[in-house]
Structure 1
Amino acid sequence: MAERAEGTPDEAGAGVELPVLLFAGFRSIVDALHRELAEQGHPDLSPAYGYALQSVGRDGSTAGEIGRRLGVSKQAAGKTVEKLEALGYVERVDDPQDGRRKLVRLSPRGMDMLVRSAEGFDRLRAEWVRVLGAERVRAMEADLRTMAAADAFRLDMAAWFNG
């Protein structure tokens, strides 16, 4: 067992271990999901594209709205939209409310990916329940809801990591 520096808690793990373990758990789920999605016909989809597709929403969004949701510039969002359009996940259409604007909408391929993604997350959670038990997983989720700030769930993860 590693020695602890004087003044550190005599518990399992140092303070830095908690965020590292939380991130590792997050990565294990997201990476497993993307392996599944690749096997199901979505090999080009990165986690960042998944967040971008979530930010499009069911009713569509402008590139500016997508950028705000992701915490990136309109230009960066536009480049992401171009790539997603080239991959067949979104389409640009005239905004029925304002003919000067273009809306980005999910294509059938984008909708398929989001449905498969939701199903995959359910399967992965079920695996955690199988290994850890339903009570422990529910308790962990409740504890994380308690500790996470009210505005903690945002899609701007890339912007947050990159400063």
Structure 2
Amino acid sequence: MSRSGADLALSLLGGFRVMVDAAIAELARHGFDDVRPVHDFAMRAITAGADNASELGRRLSISKQSAARTIAVLQERGYVSTEPDPRDARRKRLQVTDLGLQVLRTGEEIFDHLREQWADRIGATELETLERHLGELVGTQPVRFDTPGWLAKGESH
């Protein structure tokens, strides 16, 4: 039975969702029960250079106000802090704290473990084949959630 392109897109999204949901649950078991996917995306964008709410909003394709709310939550939870900008004392720069970096590292370890579980379920060779095919179809660089406008392409703001 042939499936539609929409079915394929939903299956790929479903795979992403299953892995992310499992990772969030495992992060909670590691003591990080307050982390959500958007927090990971935001901390990765901050480590990649988004050092203020405007830049974070651009990289995540969200409003500056939404970025500021996300930053406030991350600061409250100790995952992000601000420091004076050495080039402009009036300006504060965002940075991911040691605790935030620990969350990111723990998340990466969890995703590695989830990948191993998938390999156990379908076989390491099958998973490697799937990854190779996905690489051919979507490119070798992973999708970056901190790329400006990736969600809002073609939309006007």
Structure-1-length-normalised TM-score? 0.82
What letter corresponds to residue 151 of structure 2 in structure 1?
W
**Which residue number in structure 2 is paired with residue 111 of structure 1?**
101
The C-alpha deviation readout for 1:25-72, integer Å capped at 9, x for no partner, is: 111100000000011111111111111111111667222221121112
- Tell me if the contact between 1:34 and 1:45 (Cα under 8 Å) persists in the aligned partners: yes
- Residue 114 of structure 1 and its aligned partner are, at CA, apart by 0.4
Inter-partner Cα distance in structure 2 for 1:119 and 1:92: 27
State how many pairs are aligned: 152
Q: Which residue of structure 1 aligns with residue 25 of structure 2? A: 35
Q: In the superposition, relative to structure 1, how do residues 151 and 132 fare at CA in structure 2: closer, same or farther (>3 Å)?
A: closer
User: For the residues of structure 1 that align with 2:23 and 2:71, how far apart are their CA atoms?
Assistant: 22
- Unpaired segments of 5 or more residues in structure 1? 1-9
Out of 126, 140, 160, the position equivalent to 2:151 is 160
Contact residue 26 and residue 110 of structure 2 kept, 8 A: yes
Bigger Cα Rg? 1
1:75 counterpart (47, 65, 78): 65
- Flag structure 2 segments of 5+ consecutive residues without an equivalent: none
- 3-state secondary structure, aligned to 2:91: strand
Q: Which residue of 1 aligns with 2:130?
A: 140
Root-mean-square deviation (CA, aligned residues, Å) is: 2.5
Q: Retained in 2: the 8 A contact 1:58–1:106?
A: no
Identity over aligned pairs, percent: 34
Q: Contact 2:50/2:59 (CA < 8 Å) preserved in 1? A: no
Question: The residue matched to 1:26 in structure 2 has which SS?
Answer: helix
Structure 1 distance, partners of 2:50, 2:151, is 24
Distance 1:131 1:88 in 2: 37
